[in-house]
Amino acid sequence: MDQVNSTNGYKNVVSMRGIIKRFPGVLANDQVDFDLRQGEVHALLGENGAGKSTLMNVLAGLYRAEGGTTMVHGQVVNFGSPREAIEAGIGMVHQHFMLVPSQSVTENVLLGLDEPRFRMNLSRYNRKIEEIAQQYGLHVDPAARIWQLTVGEQQRVEILKMLYRGADVLIMDEPTAVLAPSEIEELFKTLRSMTVQGKSIVFISHKLHEVMDISDRVTVLQKGKVTSAGIETKDITRADLARLMVGRDVVFRVEKKAVDAGDVVLSVEDLKADNDKGLPALNGVSLEVRQGEIVGLAGVAGNGQSELAETLAGLRLALEGRITVNSQDATNKPVKLGIRQGISLIPADRTQVGTAPNLSVTDNVIMKNYDQEPIGQGWIVNSLEAIKYASELKEAYDIIVPNIDTSVRLLSGGNLQKVILAREISSEPRLMIAVQPTRGLDVGAIEGVQKLLLAQREAGAAILLISEELEELLSLSDRIYVIYEGEIMGEVVDGDIDKIGQMMTGTRLEQIEAQGVA
């Protein structure tokens, strides 16, 4: 029996009441209520760490709540595993795709099902999957292997996987984070066509404009609590939502002082490099960054951004082209030499690349100057100097940690990023390459990071900001380059978001301008 809300006649497919979920040291969901009506797109809005994904992981059976009840189609449920949730018709598309790269689309769709029993008759299932794909306009080749697909196609496989299992509730966790503007449009079309066919969708996001675009209703979470439950999207403004999300008025523009750009610090000419798989990732990138400016690099994830950052820092072999830093050749030079010349890199991956998880805060902040006076003396690391240095940074950057001997794996994301920034900025770099410096941080921490970057700009550093968040690029950068498939599509000075969007999908600036004239 479906539960019918007596006041307005809507059918609730899902209703969650008083959900409590704890993680060691955090209360991720504190008495959360949530309702999902049939045929709606319900946005779940909140900052990073607000508890959106946790709540939906409870619904999808990945976590077990410590309190509260969940009802699906009027029945009380308590999922012990994602499989039980899927059997009840609830499917989740995770932010990190849950696809096995070496297997085909069909294999991924069939994974975990009871049928086929033993022998895989792939060609038969290929056809079956093709049919469902047609029905919802999800174009993808069932025989292709996952690693051969674009990110957008992989997302379609994820949706297909859930549809094949007969899911009528689809949870999309930050689905647009990895997509180009045109792909986002296509995704929204698919989502709308699914609601028309009776499916209900939870759309998790922290991006206000998308929520305004796609959702029928919105529930806002803040620090694990609901601040607004199921308001009609058409009845609310973007500013209201922002306030509900953050708990205070948000300034959308960052204060940016005028700084005159100085000499060219970084100049890249026709740079080519391969990715880890040995396939071309950079196909002739040229760009320039001057003293006292922040230059943004926009692009959908996986178009060569991380390879560019690594090549600039000397971590990846440049096959062709030239990198010049402070008018000295820096092509394929040892990483150490780059560090000495004042190149600093804030890596995208804080835990995998940026820090050594089991070492102390002290050991992590001296990573780049352990062999330099005053910390490095002859053969030894002067531990007194190192401790002094770490304590200073802890104060200056407000790193919240019981003491500097603590292993950094125990730090929160924001504090970990402060450790990295403290290390990178304190070396007074002349060129700073920041890759996704605010990803996964809460609003307070984001503001802090952005202020630090702007302060560096005023101090005369040249900053290359690589980000997938267009809003961030627009508010911080003086100029923006757009990268697509390892090539620079063009450069925008006025923050023209339409042009950036078109370039992100592979149209060159010249082509756009030619069309504009014609």
Partner 1 sequence: MDLLIILASGVATGTVLLYATVGEAFAERSGIMNLGVEGMMLIGAMSAYKVTAATQNPWLGLLVAMFAAGAISQVHAFIAITLQADQVISGLALNFLATGISLVLGEGLTSLRDVVPQLPNFTVPVLSQIPILGKVFFDNHSIMVYIGFIFVPLAWYYINRTRPGMHLRAVGEYPAAADTLGIRVYVLRYYYVFVGGILAGLAGATISLSISPGWFGALTTAGQGWIAVGLVIFAQWDPFRAAFGAYTFGALRRLVLDIQGPSTLLGLANPFFYNPHYAFFLKMLPFAFTVVVLVIGSREANRKRIGTPAALGLPYIRGQRGL
Partner 2 sequence: MTESEMKKPALGWRLPFSIRIEPRIDNPPKWFSPMLSVIAVVFALLIGALVIWLGGGDPWAAYSHIARYSFGSVGVLSDTMVKAIPLMLVGLACSIAFRMKLWNIGAEGQFFLGVFGASLVVLLPVLPEDAPQWLFIITMIISGMLFGALWGFIPGFLKARYNVNEIISTLMMNYIAIEWNNYFIYAVWSEGGFQMSRMFQRNAWLPRLSDLGTTMPFFRGLTTHMGLLFALIAAVVLWWILAKSQWGYEIRLIGDNPRAAEYAGISIKKNIIFVMLLSGALAGLAGMSEITGVVHRLQGAISPGYGFTGIIIAWLAKLNPLAVILASILFGALILAGREVQPSGIPTLIQGVIMVALIASDYFLRNRVTIVRRVEE
376 - beta bridge partners? 381
Which of the residues 278 through 297 are near partner 1 (CB under 8 A)? 278
Work out whether 82 is an interface residue with partner 1 (CB under 8 A).
Answer: yes
Among 5, 78, 116, 197, indicate the residue that binds partner 1 (CB under 8 A): 116
C-alpha to C-alpha distance for 418 and 434, rounded to whole angstroms: 13
Give the footprint of partner 2 on this chain (CB under 8 A): 22-25, 63-64, 313-315, 334-339, 345, 347, 352-359, 363, 366-368, 370-371, 376, 379-381, 383, 402, 405-407, 410
CB of 408: closest distance to partner 2 in angstroms?
A: 10
Work out whether 96 is an interface residue with partner 1 (CB under 8 A).
Answer: yes
Q: Cβ closer to partner 2: 162 or 401?
A: 401
C-alpha to C-alpha distance for 111 and 133, rounded to whole angstroms: 17
Helix axes of 181-196 and 122-136: crossing angle, nearest 10 degrees: 90
Alpha-carbon Rg for the chain, nearest whole angstrom, is 25
Work out whether 25 is an interface residue with partner 1 (CB under 8 A).
Answer: no
Strands 487-492 and 431-435: unpaired
Q: Cβ closer to partner 2: 25 or 516?
A: 25
Binding partner of 98, given partner 2, partner 1, none, CB within 5-8 angstroms per partner class? partner 1
Binding partner of 107, given partner 1, partner 2, none, CB within 5-8 angstroms per partner class? partner 1
Among 74, 101, 137, 374, indicate the residue that binds partner 1 (CB under 8 A): 101
Closest CA relative to residue 78, chosen from 92, 89, 98, 63 = 63
297 - beta bridge partners? 466, 481
C-alpha to C-alpha distance for 180 and 505, rounded to whole angstroms: 6
The size of the chain, in residues, is 518
Find all residues with CB under 8 Å of 346, minimum gap 6, and list them: 354, 420, 421, 424, 432, 433, 434, 435, 437
CB of 358: closest distance to partner 2 in angstroms?
A: 5
Closest CA relative to residue 418, chosen from 450, 388, 449 = 449
Other CB atoms within a 10 A radius of the CB of residue 329 amount to: 10
Binding partner of 450, given partner 2, partner 1, none, CB within 5-8 angstroms per partner class? none
Strands 328-329 and 294-298: unpaired
Which of the residues 294 through 313 are near partner 1 (CB under 8 A)? none
Q: Which stretch binds partner 1 (CB under 8 A): 111-119, 128-136, 186-194, 363-371?
A: 111-119
At 197 the three-state DSSP class reads coil
Q: Cβ closer to partner 2: 38 or 407?
A: 407
Binding partner of 59, given partner 2, partner 1, none, CB within 5-8 angstroms per partner class? none
Residues that bind partner 1 (CB under 8 A): 57, 60, 62-63, 81-84, 86, 92, 94, 96-103, 107-108, 110-113, 116-120, 147, 161, 277-278, 352
